[in-house]
Structure 1
Amino acid sequence: MRALVVDHASPGHLSLTDVPAPRPAAHEALVRVEAVSLNFGEVHMATHPDMPDGTQLGWDAAGVVAQAAADGTGPAEGERVVTVGHTGGWAELRATPATLLGVAPKDADPGALSTIPVAGLSALHALRRMGPLLGRRVMVTGASGGVGRYAVQLAARAGAHVVAISRDPAQADGLRALGAHEIHPAPAAVRQPVSAVIDNVGGQHLVDAFATLSAGGTLISMGRSSEADAVLPPDALLGTEGRHDRSIRTFYLFGDPATDFSADLTWLATEITEGRLDPGISWRGPWTRHSEAVHTLLDRRLHGKAVLDLE
C-alpha cells in the first residue's frame, strides 16, 4: 500500500511511497482510508531532524471498514468510520481498535470527518473539564485554528458567552457565525474577567489569558503555536479578592490509556454530517499535493483544517 512517510530530502519532509500493509490484531478493524486531515503538531514533528526517515505519522483519518475486527468488537465491514491514533493515519489502510473508531452516517463526507479526531475530541474533552458552561464567559485563544474553531462552536452550544481571540481581523465574521460573542486580537484586550480559558497559543497569550481569570477559574493549556516561553510575573499567582483559587492545567488527549473515544467520535461525526458543526476546511486537495498543504500549515497561512483526499 502507499503511505506518507518522513523523508527529510523531500519538500515538506514527507514523501508518498510503498510500505507494508498493516496486519490488524484481533481487536482491530482494518480501515480503507479515504481522507486525512493534518495537524500543525504532527507536521512540525516530521520536520525534526531526529525523526527517522520512513516513519509513518498521521493522527486523523476517515474511511470505510474493509475488514471488521476478528473478535467481533467495533463496526462491521462496509461501515463509514472516523479514526484517531498516534500513528499510521496517512496511509491507504489503517488498523484501529474499536475504542478509537467512530461510526459515521453513510452519506458523510470523509474529508469533513477527518477534521474531527484530534481537534474535535480535544475541544470537547477540554470543555468538559470546565464543568457547566451555561452563562459563563469562556475564552478561546487561537480561535481560528482547528481546535479553536471546534471549541468556539461547542462552548456556544453549551450556553457559554464565548470570547474568541484571533489576531487576524478577517476571521471576525466567521467566528461570529460559529457562535463567538466577542472577538479580540489578544487576551490583553479583554477587559471583563472570564471563568475559563482554552489556550492554543502559549507564550504571552497564556500569561495574559491567565490574568483575565476570575476566582476559581481554570486555564487549560492545549497548544503552543507561538513556540514562545510563557513567563509569569511575580504577582501572577498572588491570591487576592476576585483572583484566588485559579489554576493552569495541562492537556494530553491520550493521557488516559483506558479512554474509549468511540461514542464521542460517533456523536461528532453525526453533528458534522447534519450540519450542526462546521469542520472548518480551509485547504483541500489530493494527497499528492501534501507538500503544499504542509508548507501552508508551517507558514501559519492556514485558518482551520487542511484535508488530503486519497485517490
Structure 2
Amino acid sequence: MSFQIERGLFLLDFTDHHAILGVPVDAEIKDIRKRYLKIARLLHPDSGASETEEARQRASDLLSKLVNPAWERLSQERDRSEYMIVLKLKGQQGLRQQGDLVLSNLAKQLAAAANPDHFYTTALKDLATKQYEQLDQMLELTAQLSELNLVYLMRKEAKGEFKPLEKKTPTPTTPSREVPINAPNPPPPRESPADQYYRRAEAYIAKNNFAQATLELREGLQADPSNSRCHSLMGMIYLKQNQGTMAKIHFNKALQLNPQDTMAHEGRQRLEQVQKVANKISGGGGKPAPSKGTSEKKPDDKAGGGLFGLFGGKKK
C-alpha cells in the first residue's frame, strides 16, 4: 500500500516527518519521542484499535512505511541536524513560490494570524489529536499539518527567526591523573543503559512479537545511541519482516560502531544471500523446474545458518 501526500512541504519534493508524527517543526527530541511511542502503541496490531483485518493491515503499513522512518530520521542527532537545514531551505523556497501555493482555509488563517506562534501551536495540537483516530483520515490530516508547517516556516523565514538546531560543542575533558602502582583494581564496567531494553526485546522475539521488540530496541537506542547490539538485533527483526533496506541500515550502523559485531556480520551476509536469490529469480524469469530423480533441498535453518538460529544464538 502506497501513501502519497501532495500538499504542504510534501509538494516541495520533501518528506515532512514532523507532520507524519504530528509534532511542531521546532519540537524537542523528548517530545518527538513521546509522540512516536504514543502513535506506535496505537498502531500496534495487539492494541485492539483496529477491528477488521483491512484496518489492521493499514495500521501496520502506516507504522512501517511512514511512522517508523520518520522517527528514524528525527531520532538520530546527525540525521536530524541535516534534516533541519533542508527544512529551513524549504521555508525559503516556499517564500519564493508563495504566489503558486494552494492552501487550505486553516493554513490561510495562519498566514494572516496576528500571533502566528499561538495559532500554529493550537491548530497543530488540535489536528494531531485526531490524526490517528480514524486511519482513513490520516493522510488528509497529515496534509493539513504539513501546510501549517510550511506556512509557519515561511512566516519565520520572512523575519529571519527560524534557526536549525545547532550541534552542541563537546566540553573538553581534563586529562586524567596517572594511576599509582599500588592503586586498587578499578570496578567492573557498568551495564549499558540499553541492555535491559535488549533483553526485553529478546524475550518479545522469542514470542514472535516483533513490533514490541522493535519498540524496546528503539527505547534502548534512545538511551544509548552507540549500542551496536541493539542495531544488529533491530536489523535481524527487519530482515525477518522482509524489510531489507531498513535491515541494511541497522547492520551497517552496528558495524560502524563495532566492526567485530558478529550478529551484524552474519545478518548482512544473510541479507546479501536473499538479495542474490531475488535477483536470480527476477532475472531468470522464475525458478527452474527440478529435473527428474532429484528433489529440492530445503534451506538449512540450523543455528548459525538460519535467521532463527541467529536470534537464538549465544550473545557475543
Same fold (TM over 0.5): no
Q: Flag the structure with more relative contact order, 1 or 2, with Cα contacts below 8 A and sequence separation at least 6.
A: 1
The structure that is helix-richer by fraction is: 2
With the length of structure 2 as denominator, give the TM-score of the two structures.
0.23
The structure that is strand-richer by fraction is: 1
With the length of structure 1 as denominator, give the TM-score of the two structures.
0.24
Which structure has the larger Rg over C-alpha atoms?
A: 2
